[in-house]
Amino acid sequence: MLDIKFLRENPEMVKENIKKKFQDEKIKLVDEVIELDQKYREAKTRCDNLRSQRNKISKQIGGLMAKGEKEEAERVKAQVGQINNELSTLEISESDLSQQIRERMLVIPNIIDDSVPIGKDDSENVEIEKFGEPFVPDFEVPYHVDIMEKLNGIDIDSARKTSGNGFYYLCGDIARLHSAILSYARDFMIDRGFTYYIPPFMIRSSVVTGVMSFAEMEGMMYKIEGEDLYLIGTSEHSMIGKFIDTILKEDELPQTLTSYSPCFRKEVGAHGIEERGVYRIHQFEKQEMIVVCKPEDSMDWFEKLYHNTVDFFRTLDIPVRTLECCSGDLADLKVKSIDVEAWSPRQKKYFEVGSCSNLGDAQARRLGIRVKGADGNKYFAHTLNNTVVAPPRMLIAFLENNLNEDGSVRIPEALRMYMGGKDVIK
């Protein structure tokens, strides 16, 4: 959410930013906010003046009564009553105007960074850099579900009976590999100075609307019926929510956290062979990284965060590339975002395995996450998040890139201690 003062002083910049995100239908909201803000400030000023006037007049009543001037005292009381009536009406109007402003401000997109490429959708995202050589073996690489089934590692049919489409059972060495990847990711991030967390897997609506846009919430979140609770779509939601309505000291920054959680999401995505199996599912597990920092440090942390994911995948012999998200592909709260994509030898192309985002002060402004500087002044923190690894998609990349011709799968050195010393799955 933007600072209302910034919007008030820079309406054309805000409108231009909306155009860059190809959301022209929202341009009118800027003028609506300015008009509502003017009415709100007028109402607030009038309320403040009336309260001051009421307090001044009210002090006269006791003195008049003490002098025996009851008639004058009653006249003053009537005047106070009139002020109270007007105040009551104005306070309702003030509250209503404030709510109307907030509703519009919540859907006006954040100002994107100048470095973000302008484009309408993900087809116009820009490749930045490749890490590792993409390799296609001489033998045919089967579909990832077929690899898992040959290793007795997945049961989709039973999951359809218990839970429906978008679910699966992992078993045997594939289930162990899944857990090994998460354990390795946890230790990888701890070794890089991040504090490990296991957060709540359900959050209140006040946190949901603080960490994401309404459109994202509707498309992603499962609501617990009869309660003000939602299942998280990523542990970022809980972890940023941890700081709601807090004032951090500058010397407590940056907060660098890494968190494990299951993730629950409504949409399964498009149908077709690439969406079968474990690519798009309702439930999965993920290791995340989160940073809360000073505004001037957020771009440096942005670079560090996505490189952590690159380094993690490279230790497991998986080629990756980084892709800068264009303006039209950025969620409304994001200032800048980079996707990390892993190489698929079967498809002979890259596919998304993680996303790194700098949200500026958007989440902090919505959730009231402030920093108290050494000079005593308070300002909003910047928040960032990035996927370390989400094993369902990671398993696809891992199995395809470490597959042997005989159908066995190599275990890179980094994972062997988590796999009981195994160097291959047969």
| pLDDT score of 365 | 94
Identify the weakest region by mean pLDDT among 87-101, 174-188, 206-220: 206-220
Q: How confident is the model at residue 252 (pLDDT cuts 50, 70, 90)?
A: very high
Contact 14, 23 (CB under 8 A): no
Polymer length in residues for the chain: 426
pLDDT in tens, 101-151: 999 999 999 999 999 999 999 999 999 999 999 999 999 999 999 999 999
Q: Is 340 exposed, middle or buried (0-12, 13-18, 19+ CB in 10 A)?
A: buried
Q: What angle do the packed helices 70-105 and 27-66 form, to 10 degrees?
A: 160
Residues 223, 234: Cα–Cα separation, whole Å: 14
Q: Is the pLDDT of residue 271 over 60?
A: no
3-state secondary structure string across 229-281:
CEECCCHHHHHHHCCCCEEEEHHHCCEEEEEEEEEECCCCCCCCHHHCCCCCC
Residues 86, 79: Cα–Cα separation, whole Å: 11
**Mean pLDDT for the chain?**
91
| pLDDT score of 272 | 42
| pLDDT score of 55 | 80
Contact 172, 152 (CB under 8 A): yes
pLDDT in tens, 302-314: 999 999 999 999 9
pLDDT in tens, 335-344: 999 999 999 9
Q: Is the pLDDT of residue 268 over 50?
A: no
The phi, psi pair for 338, rounded to 5°, reads: -130, 130
The phi, psi pair for 194, rounded to 5°, reads: -90, 145
What number is the average pLDDT over the span 192-217? Answer: 89
- % of the chain surpassing 90 pLDDT: 77
**Domains of the chain and any CATH numbers:** 4-105 (1.10.287.40), 122-425 (3.30.930.10)
Q: Is the pLDDT of residue 265 over 80?
A: yes
- % of the chain surpassing 70 pLDDT: 97
Q: How confident is the model at residue 214 (pLDDT cuts 50, 70, 90)?
A: low
Residues 122, 351: Cα–Cα separation, whole Å: 12
What number is the average pLDDT over the span 406-424? Answer: 96
Q: Name the nearest CA neighbour of 403 among 184, 137, 155.
A: 137
Q: Name the nearest CA neighbour of 3 among 100, 107, 110, 112.
A: 110
| pLDDT score of 219 | 73
Q: Is the pLDDT of residue 273 over 50?
A: no
- Buried b / exposed e over 65-78, threshold 16 CB at 10 Å, is eeeeeeeebeebbe
Dig out the tokens for 95 from the structure: 């509250």
Residues 381, 291: Cα–Cα separation, whole Å: 10
284, amino acid identity: F
- CB-based contacts of 185: which residues, under 8 Å, 6+ apart? 287, 312, 388, 389
Region for 272 from its dihedrals, namely left if φ exceeds 0, alpha if ψ lies in -120 to 50, beta otherwise: left
What number is the average pLDDT over the span 38-50? Answer: 91
Mean pLDDT highest for which of 73-82, 152-161, 268-277? 152-161
Strands of the 230-231 sheet, one edge to the other: 202-203, 230-231, 222-223
Between 209 and 243, residue with greater pLDDT = 243
pLDDT in tens, 75-108: 877 887 888 888 888 989 999 999 999 999 999 9
Dig out the tokens for 31 from the structure: 């003028």
| pLDDT score of 270 | 42
Q: Is the pLDDT of residue 334 over 60?
A: yes
Contact 21, 328 (CB under 8 A): yes
What number is the average pLDDT over the span 238-259? Answer: 96
What number is the average pLDDT over the span 44-58? Answer: 85
| pLDDT score of 274 | 43
Contact 264, 231 (CB under 8 A): yes
Q: How confident is the model at residue 61 (pLDDT cuts 50, 70, 90)?
A: confident
Residues 92, 115: Cα–Cα separation, whole Å: 43
- Distances from the Cα of 168 to the Cα of 165, 261, 287, 383, 414, angstroms: 8, 17, 19, 34, 27
